[in-house]
Structure 1
């Protein structure tokens, strides 16, 4: 028994998880009757937990048995987004391939230049959005809630970047060799002509300018939660507790 467990004085039914399954089924039926969308959180939370426990027996997305940790919150957000069928599941898809007479590329690409030696390519592309990036820590201030497992664990478990925030580039027809990939002048990696001719995914590449931009936005949102949202919520909870 963990003496630091905040809810050690409370008792929990051993059938609580099964109860949640039945409750989720009931909610699905009610949603169907009312013509409302429904997102199942119970099955994914259990599935990912059971899979992770094969290698980490004590793993939990809900460490205190009540409140999801940041990884659990991320998983819930991912499932909510994926189950309601988002309009866009990719950030960008760049393709440069040789055609019968000239090089063919994606409609969003402009200023394409391929060297005569087929060993150098430049192009212009402006994505319509940023990749989905989460900070490694859910908050910068000390909190009473469990901070582990962190949100990046949920990101990896769900393969969220690939599924809902995909950035890929494909360049075929280059002469054999290794190539530096630069974005806005920044070297984001070296890839073989074979890798480039298949595809290279960039959404989780921390070196890209767009990843750093997205991270800065996520950190601003984290600061908003730390400075404004969470203190206000705690104040409301204190007032509620007086009743």
Structure 2
């Protein structure tokens, strides 16, 4: 793994500054609809965003819901808004949709589709996006338009390359921003930066992909990079807490986003109590490599403890009696970032919050499978269908698919079987949503912890 150099960080900061993005953080009372297609339906970037807000702003009531539908388009969202999204009563929305609209598959190697067909699809997408943003604003929803994730045009995956998709996306992204400006909506550009990261990493690791084996759908690492770029554009606080103590007194030199009390000397060090106003952001195991690609920790996850004036020697930091860190006096004087220390009780609490978010997100993802089926055309010829009517229709479709060799045969067979299994339980599942969400906000309130820094031995 390669670490991000200071030069690359500087370049990254420059590119973020020149994106033309204009977005604001989610605030207390916001109800956010994450609108999209498969990357939203089955993805995790919105889980990461909900986890970040639940841990960084634990006293703000921010509710979000996945409204992705795999295979959908902007025109499709227009059709399903009233029955699918509007009942949630959102006042904010992110909109990340368009790969299906423009027909990303038309760009595969040796594709025979005429250029004017590609242009026609782009023009149609822009028209639908204008209508979608207009409809959202008329319904009291302020949208944040997020440019499309790039396809992996340069990786070694088995699937044919789709050359030119990213240039097409970047060519019409300014028009997406113009739509945002037209309706006083927000805009975040992630396409170019994700493409740049992917290409840069492939120079040293040709088999790497930020996107995935199908060149289209990001995996966990790509979704955390998406979340990072969105959060940076929103200008969220990077501070979990900052504590700076002079051990010679001892005295509190700085406390930010926390309350430090009971600071006193001990025979071999100092102790104090800290009540932070946030929790660190816990990064999932499957997304860890994202930290090698973007400065997430440096920019968004800072829980820094600095203790100057310690006598030379080695020290143990304990929190609530549990050792979490060993270091020299110089290390503590330079400052340690506890946000990445998985041994701390606050990190373990943050993991519990993350797990609660994921339980909530997993249930809503199952409900998206129901929406995916009902948003399709299979039931169009049924008049006021009952659940049994729909199940019978799907059973017939499964039988038909089993006799085909369609590329998406197994996907739709499994989707329809899942619908048959969970549709009768939909009412009970809907009742579970609020308790699951409430659990997130019952677990995310920081508690006071006692810190003890104890000298182990003098410096040798």
Q: TM-score, normalised by structure 2?
A: 0.44
Match of 1:109 among 229, 242, 260: 260
Q: Which residue is equivalent to 1:78?
A: 228
Alignment of 1:166-181 (within 5 A): 166-181=302-317
Q: Which residue is equivalent to 1:128?
A: 277
Q: Deviations over 1:100-121 (max 9, x none)?
A: x763433421110124x7x401
Contact 2:303 2:338 in 1 (8 A): yes
- Cα RMSD of the aligned pairs, angstroms, is 2.0
Match of 1:163 among 268, 285, 299: 299
Distance 1:103 1:130 in 2: 24
Q: Which residue is equivalent to 1:147?
A: none
Q: Which residue is equivalent to 1:24?
A: 173
Contact 1:37 1:84 in 2 (8 A): no
Distance 2:181 2:235 in 1: 17
Distance 1:239 1:223 in 2: 24
* Structure showing the higher helix proportion among its residues: 2
Contact 2:252 2:263 in 1 (8 A): no
Q: Which residue is equivalent to 1:142?
A: none
Aligned length: 216
Pick which of 73-82 and 104-113 moved more.
104-113
- TM-fit CA distance, 1:222: 1.7
With over 3 angstroms needed to count, the CA separation of the structure-2 counterparts of 1:216 and 1:104, relative to structure 1, is closer
Contact 1:93 1:167 in 2 (8 A): yes
Q: Which has the larger radius of gyration?
A: 2
Q: Which residue is equivalent to 1:237?
A: 372
Q: Which residue is equivalent to 1:190?
A: 326
SS in 1 for 2:245: strand
Query: Structure 1: which 5+ runs fail to align?
Result: 1-9, 137-149
Distance 1:18 1:205 in 2: 41
Contact 1:31 1:38 in 2 (8 A): yes
SS in 2 for 1:125: strand
Contact 2:250 2:265 in 1 (8 A): no
SS in 2 for 1:203: helix
SS in 1 for 2:281: coil
Contact 1:162 1:203 in 2 (8 A): no
With over 3 angstroms needed to count, the CA separation of the structure-2 counterparts of 1:73 and 1:102, relative to structure 1, is closer
SS in 2 for 1:112: strand
Contact 2:247 2:265 in 1 (8 A): no
SS in 2 for 1:121: strand
